[in-house]
Chains A and B, each alone.
Chain A
Amino acid sequence: MQFAFDKLDTIAKRMILAVQDYSIFCWNAVGNLARSPHYWSDVMTQADLIGVGSLPIVVLTGFFTGGVLALQSASSLAQFGAQAYTGRFVSLSMIRELAPVLTGLMVSGRNASGMASELGSMVVTEQIDAMRALGTDPMKKLVTPRMLATVVMLFLLTIVSDTVGTAGGAFVAVFMSSQNGTQYFDSAYQALVYGDIVQGLTKPVFFGFIIATVGCFFGMKTTGGTQGVGRATTQAVVVSSVLIIFSDFIISRIMIWIF
């Protein structure tokens, strides 16, 4: 019994220590935005890798999610003679919830893992130490540009996903459910209010921050050689995905309270 309590105590302390480390890490990453030097070329490189590189998966995910929403909702709404509301259902679901969350999860799977493995490999091959020995702060050079690029690009990718998702819904509604396209878009547009847009575009800012900081945090804390790099990569994807869904709940609650 005592052994179990000791173990629990150790695990609890380790978790609190990890949260403390992560908080300090995030504080430094954000604080570097106000401190010189700034690595703008690295920000642009990361924006290209994260934003342009993730575009195909975001477009495909958004289009088919919009499509399947229209497919499911059209058949359910038809039972109540409300098939004309398909556009409203698709646009509200996509813009408020699904586009930010699915884009966040897709980018997390692709980029949080990439950041953790890249930085983790640099740690185990002493490249991070070499960078420090050459007088460069790895937080400024590697972490802050990734954080800034992910936040900006996830915001833009979510807008793309919103658009493509609504278009996917329209494709299904018009070509598979034989609905009127004008009616679909009119319904989709009329349903949206200012609060929906704010809610849908606030989330990616937080999700982008989570993806980059979690990915970089696990990468920079990598220990244990190549096996450690694999472990850091897996942990980065799992933790960032869970945090995205958790923070989505919190942000939704706050937004519903505000609007």
Chain B
Amino acid sequence: MTDSMTNSAPPVVFEHVSIGFEGTPVLEDISFHVNPGETRILLGPAGVGKSVLLKLTTGLIRVDSGRILLFGEDITALSEAQLLPLRTRTGMVFQEGALFDSLTIRDNVGYQLMERHLPVDEVDERVREALRFVELEHTYDMLPASLSGGMRRRVAIARAIIDKPDFLLYDSPTGGLDPVTSTTIDELIIKERDVYQTPSLLVTHRLQDAFTMATHRFSVTQKKMVALPKGEINAMTSFLVLHDRKLVFDGSTEALVASENPFIKEFLA
């Protein structure tokens, strides 16, 4: 991690952000921030604009109005060329993995390192380390097409974390996966959160994943995810809820559960 992450400045700040496509508003007046070491879980029904919000965070889509600060820099004022180096400080896991299908797993995971022309031995070593983290070292020489959906997501996580990013973005990492595989992915995200303490923004519409994140921790000694003692909740995990283009909730797990907002009550039911 870079020095900027050791201070208390929030790595991501949204200020009154709005965006629409072809005249249809998608997100309106969105404001929130992610603190250092914090994991923010963005909940909302399908099609509400969660993935759009995630792509706005790194400037993959541009805002219509408002401001987004990434590591303290206003990205709405930056050109694509100026954004590229800033994006290398983030890691992003896409909805379907978005692995480069013509490259091997080694080249996919080590892509960012190869772009920086690091020595081949160093790339090999760090790729193996990242693949070991997601327990897929044996897929090193395979092509993405020969992996299952869950394995592809795990490789995507390895690709996102290989360069020790300062901020992580997960776009529905468990979407379309069976419950067992989803739990494996959740465990990896919790492991990343608790071992490296990288701040992150996670998008999901699955409540089970969200509450697993809030009620579990990774045990380094047992090398697995374990439940927190009853009544205890991870303080560094908090929630955002999107509904009907607006951010209708921004707060802790306890506040979410106690919310009187009719939509949130129905969503959690």
Residues of A near any B CB (own CB < 8 A): 37, 125-127, 129-137
Q: Which residue in A126, A130, A132, A136 is a CB contact (below 8 Å) of B115?
A: A136
Q: 17 A-B residue contacts at CB 8 Å?
A: A125-B96, A126-B94, A126-B95, A126-B96, A127-B98, A129-B60, A130-B92, A130-B94, A130-B98, A131-B100, A132-B60, A133-B60, A133-B92, A134-B159, A135-B85, A135-B112, A136-B115
* Contacting pair B100 A133 (CB below 8 A): no
Q: With the chains together, A134 CA to B83 CA distance in Å?
A: 11
**In the complex, chain B residues whose CB is within 8 Å of the CB of A135:** 84-85, 87-88, 112, 115
B178 at the interface (CB under 8 A from A): no
B111 at the interface (CB under 8 A from A): yes
Q: With the chains together, A37 CA to B81 CA distance in Å?
A: 12
* Contacting pair A133 B81 (CB below 8 A): no
* Contacting pair A129 B98 (CB below 8 A): yes
Q: A133-B58, A137-B84 are in contact. Are A125 and B92 (CB under 8 A)?
A: no
Residues of B near any A CB (own CB < 8 A): 55, 58, 60, 80-81, 84-85, 87-88, 90, 92, 94-96, 98-101, 111-112, 115, 159
**In the complex, chain B residues whose CB is within 8 Å of the CB of A132:** 60, 80, 84, 87
Main secondary structure of the interface of B (DSSP, over half): mixed
**In the complex, chain A residues whose CB is within 8 Å of the CB of B88:** 134-135
* Contacting pair B81 A137 (CB below 8 A): yes
**Additional 10 contacts, C-beta under 8 A, given A126-B95, A135-B84:** A37-B115, A126-B94, A126-B98, A129-B55, A129-B60, A130-B92, A131-B100, A133-B94, A136-B84, A137-B81
**In the complex, chain A residues whose CB is within 8 Å of the CB of B111:** 134, 136
Q: With the chains together, A127 CA to B101 CA distance in Å?
A: 9
Q: With the chains together, A121 CA to B117 CA distance in Å?
A: 27
By beta carbon, the residue of chain B nearest A128 is B98
Q: A125-B96, A126-B95, A127-B98 are in contact. Are A133 and B80 (CB under 8 A)?
A: no
Q: With the chains together, A132 CA to B111 CA distance in Å?
A: 12
* Contacting pair A133 B87 (CB below 8 A): yes
**In the complex, chain A residues whose CB is within 8 Å of the CB of B159:** 134
**In the complex, chain A residues whose CB is within 8 Å of the CB of B100:** 127, 130-131
Nearest-Cβ distance from residue A225 to partner chain B, whole angstroms? 12
By beta carbon, the residue of chain A nearest B115 is A136
By beta carbon, the residue of chain A nearest B103 is A127
Interface centre among A129, A130, A131 (most CB of B within 10 A): A130
Q: With the chains together, A134 CA to B113 CA distance in Å?
A: 10
Q: With the chains together, A127 CA to B95 CA distance in Å?
A: 11
Q: With the chains together, A134 CA to B85 CA distance in Å?
A: 9
**In the complex, chain B residues whose CB is within 8 Å of the CB of A125:** 96, 98, 101
Interface centre among A127, A131, A135 (most CB of B within 10 A): A135
**In the complex, chain A residues whose CB is within 8 Å of the CB of B112:** 134-135
Q: With the chains together, A134 CA to B110 CA distance in Å?
A: 11
Q: With the chains together, A135 CA to B159 CA distance in Å?
A: 13
**In the complex, chain B residues whose CB is within 8 Å of the CB of A126:** 94-96, 98
* Contacting pair B115 A137 (CB below 8 A): no
**In the complex, chain A residues whose CB is within 8 Å of the CB of B58:** 133
**In the complex, chain A residues whose CB is within 8 Å of the CB of B81:** 137
**In the complex, chain A residues whose CB is within 8 Å of the CB of B80:** 132, 137
